[in-house]
Chain A
Amino acid sequence: MKKLCSKVALSVAVVALTSGMAGAAAKGVSDNVVKIGVLTDMSGVYSTLGGKGTQVGVEMAVKDFGGKVLGKPIQVIGADHQNKADIASAKAREWFDNEKVDMITGLLNSGCALAVQKLGGEKKKITMNTGAASTALTNDACTPYGIHYVYDTYALGKVTAEAVVPAGGKSWYFLTADYAFGHSLEANTAKFVTKLGGKILGSVRHPLSTADFSSYLLQAQASGAQIIGLANAGGDTTNAIKQAREFGIDKKGQKLVGLLIFDTDIKSLGLNVAQGMQFTSGFYWDRDKGTRDFAKRFYAIHKAMPTMDQAGAYSATMNYLKAIKAAGTDDPDAVMAKLKSMDISDFFAVNGKIRADGRMVHDMYLMEVKKPSESKGEWDLLKIVKTVPAADAFMPLSESTCSLVKK
């Protein structure tokens, strides 16, 4: 019996040793190619703010990097997950298993993002999320290979609440999209509103893709709240804002606050309707010379200015490739270690850092929509009211429930 035990121990040791050696030997690039997959909404409600533009961002980064890393070619492929989590995870599985994809980015829509990040965790593949907003990605659902790059519902709620509540917006009523993202955004925002001395008077949950908001708006109006918070996105937000103007809700002293707004939504509303609104963003194309140079090159290809998702995909890809170069391998563990230790600093991210929980923290911006008279061009839509330092915008690491955070 004793002999058997020692034999087992010995073989375990041998296995451990050889596999350890194999790990150490994994230098260079696996399969002789670094493959990046852009998996996002290419045709649905979010395709204007992400979609093909996200792939354009990734392709630009690859080109700017020189098309090769460690002497091996870099390839980009894209697919449409149609905002369905099952399609997203089936596609990601196919990419990881058969297509030798090393990293997936984009991932708009929290449902799809959570599914793919989980799969990446199981298969040891890096996911760099630029599109989705749910804070679950870097809390309960965090993985050693998942990075949440651009923004989240915590930062959106916090920055906006800190701007609106002290300015007099004490009582709130929420119009909330009835799925994971909307709930998360409402909960995070409500937390800060109450913390700052504000009051939540109520909320109404509407189905995703609602065309007519007038009923909900009348309920919000009847609540008498000073602020009507829109915990939704895309077409839902724009329809709600438009119809509030139509019913003259803003004229009676109630103010609408959109909690997640993209440049493309402002385009859709028109400055006339949207002027004066404040919201939080992770990026604006017209911030400084760096962003403008990038935006100009992006516009030449895509015929629209980049949103934070699209610019974020460029930055994520660029830094991923830099990390591979610095690590001397595309081995996911080594690359993640590099990513989490290096500074993330480019036109997109200011004071960026990827934390243990996978959250990329960087400066966020409080934006305001320009008046039509202030706008000098088709895309001259916003101005930056305030820059919020990374440390103040995002959830502190100590509050993260991610199991990777040492406490």
Chain B
Amino acid sequence: MELSFQMVMSQVMLGLNNGVFYAILSLGLAVIFGLLNIVNFAHGALYMLGAYVALLGFTSLGPLIGMPDFHLNYWAALIVAPLVVGAVGIVIEKTMLSRLYKFDHLYGLLLTFGLALIIQGVFTNFFNVSGDPYDAKPEILGGAVNLGFMMFPKYRLWVIVISLLVCFGTWFVIERTKLGSYLRAGTENPELVKAFGVNVPLMITLTYGYGVALAAFAGVLAAPIYSVSPVMGSEMIITVFAVVVIGGMGSIMGSIVTGLLLGMVEGFTKVVYAPASSTVIFLIMVLVLLVKPAGLFGRES
């Protein structure tokens, strides 16, 4: 296959499109790991949950509350789904995760992995595994725009723009504001921060809630592109973890940049040698771990 400029540019755009999903999901993982030291394996399941909140809000909520004509539209879902899933996350943190902070990472990992399997299992029981369509894509985002080298669907362009805004917004809050500095200090030395009158447990709970809300937000963004299915999260989560490992566990900027880059690498592999596209990220992970065990952006401890 000869690589024309047009071909390469199209793949870069598509890679960027996949990359923003990796970025926004691995960002949530990085925030949670950085501040809570929890390897949140339930992230994929919560991403799926976000998509289902949007889907069910559109199709089933109206009849359920006795207003058959009521549909939760896409814009509302972008706000409601992260709130709902964030609330679920807060309940999980309060009732389960908070008991595990004093133990090894492994316990948090096992707990969240178990939760992911349970959530996915319950949804598999009630919904079509091959997915259900989410038809609530707003008119204004339909159709495609001509980028010169390709016709690119407007909706995907919107996904790229809004995801980048959310990612860099999050980075800004954590790394450049006073609130962010409390957060970072709270994980470094909770006792000391408490002494200054900051409510550290509440801060941690809200952080977990925000991290999973990001996953739900990505789920809503993904719903119109892919079918909404119970396994959409588990297919994604393994790759996203590889992204986090490559970027460096807990590094905010690292997870964003690595997510975008790896999305493009993957897209490019699909043209050069398609069968390798599902493994190329893991190959890079192996190489990075050999050369720089803390990840590209990680700090050696």
Let me know if A291 is at the binding interface, CB within 8 A.
no
Task: Select which of B151, B226, B275, B278 is within 8 A of A247 by beta carbon.
Answer: B151
Docked CA distance A207–B281 (Å): 14
Q: Which of B69-77, B177-185, B227-235, B245-253 binds A?
A: B227-235
Q: How far is the CA of A218 from the CA of B121 in the complex (A)?
A: 35
Enumerate A312-332 residues with CB–CB distance to B below 8 Å.
Answer: none
Residue A129, interface by CB 8 Å:
no
Are A239 and B14 in touch, CB under 8 angstroms? no
Given the known A-B contacts A48-B128, A206-B274, A264-B128, are A215 and B153 also in contact in the complex, defined by CB atoms under 8 Å?
no
Distance A272 CA – B144 CA, assembled complex (angstroms): 18
For the complex, what is the distance from the CA of A272 to the CA of B151, rounded to whole Å?
22
For A218, A242, A273, which residue has the most chain B Cβ atoms within 10 angstroms?
A: A218
Cβ < 8 Å to A, chain B residues 256-278: 267, 270-271, 274-275, 277-278
Give B contacts to A, CB under 8 Å.
Answer: 1, 7, 10-11, 14, 17-18, 121, 124, 128-133, 135, 144, 150-151, 153, 155-156, 225-227, 229, 231-232, 235-236, 267, 270-271, 274-275, 277-278
Q: Which of A228-254 contact B (CB under 8 A)?
A: 234-235, 238-239, 242-243, 246-248
Contact yes or no, B271 A219, CB < 8 A? yes
Report the nearest A residue to B231, measured CB to CB.
A45
A387 within 8 A of B: no
Interface flag for A268 (CB, 8 Å) = yes
Which residues in A have their C-beta under 8 angstroms from that of B232? 211
- Cβ of B271 and Cβ of A207 under 8 Å apart? no
Known contacts A215-B270, A248-B151; A268/B133 CB under 8 A: yes
Any chain B CB within 8 A of the CB of A216? yes
A180 to B129, CA, bound (A): 22
Contact B227 A239 (CB under 8 A): yes
Is there an interface contact between B274 and A216, defined as CB atoms closer than 8 Å?
A: yes
Contact indicator per residue, chain A 246-273, by CB within 8 Å of chain B (1) or not (0): 1110000000000000101101111011
Inter-chain contacts of A400 with B (CB < 8 A): none
Cβ of A44 and Cβ of B135 under 8 Å apart?
Answer: no
Quote the shortest CB–CB distance from A55 to chain B (angstroms).
Answer: 14
Partner of B270, one of A46, A216, A247: A216
Q: Which residues of B contact A44 (CB under 8 A)?
A: 129, 231
Give the CA-CA distance A216 to B274 in the complex, in Å.
8
Which residue of A205, A218, A235, A243 is within 8 Å of B131 (Cβ)?
Answer: A235
A242–B223 Cα distance when bound, in Å, is 12
Q: Interface digits, A185-227 against B, CB 8 Å rule (1 contact, 0 not)?
A: 0000000000000000000111101111011101100100000
Interface residues of A (CB under 8 A from B): 43-49, 178, 204-207, 209-212, 214-216, 218-219, 222, 234-235, 238-239, 242-243, 246-248, 262, 264-265, 267-270, 272-273
A-B interface, 5 closest residue pairs, ranked by CB to CB distance from nearest: A215-B270, A207-B278, A270-B133, A268-B131, A48-B129
Residues B236 and A211 in contact, CB atoms below 8 Å apart: yes
* Selected contact of B132 from candidates A206, A246, A247, A268, CB within 8 Å: A268
Could you name 7 residue pairs across A and B whose Cβ atoms are closer than 8 Å?
Answer: A46-B129, A47-B124, A178-B275, A211-B235, A212-B17, A235-B227, A248-B151
| Residues on B with beta carbons closer than 8 Å to the beta carbon of A218 | 7, 10-11, 14, 150
Given contacts A47-B129, A265-B130, contact A215 B151 (CB under 8 A): no
When distances are taken between beta carbons in the complex, the residues of chain A under 8 Å from B130 are 45, 48-49, 234-235, 238, 262, 264-265, 268
CB closest residue in chain A, given B1: A219
* Cα distance, A273 to B14, chains bound together (Å): 22
Contact: A215 with B128, CB < 8 Å?
Answer: no
Among residues of B, the one whose C-beta sits closest to the C-beta of A215 is B270
* A269 partner residues in chain B, CB cutoff 8 A: 133, 227
Cross-chain contact B128 with A214 (CB below 8 angstroms): no
Interchain CB contact under 8 A, B121 and A43: yes
A78 to chain B, nearest CB (A): 15
Residue of B nearest to A203 (CB): B274
Beyond the given pairs A242-B226, A273-B133, 13 more chain A to chain B contacts, judged by CB atoms under 8 angstroms and listed by A's residue number, are: A48-B128, A49-B130, A178-B275, A206-B274, A207-B275, A210-B278, A211-B232, A215-B11, A218-B11, A242-B225, A247-B151, A264-B130, A268-B128
| Bound: A205/B277 CA distance, A | 10
Contact A214 B275 (CB under 8 A): no
Which chain A residue has the least Cβ–Cβ distance from B132? A268
Shortest Cβ distance from A233 into B: residue? B130
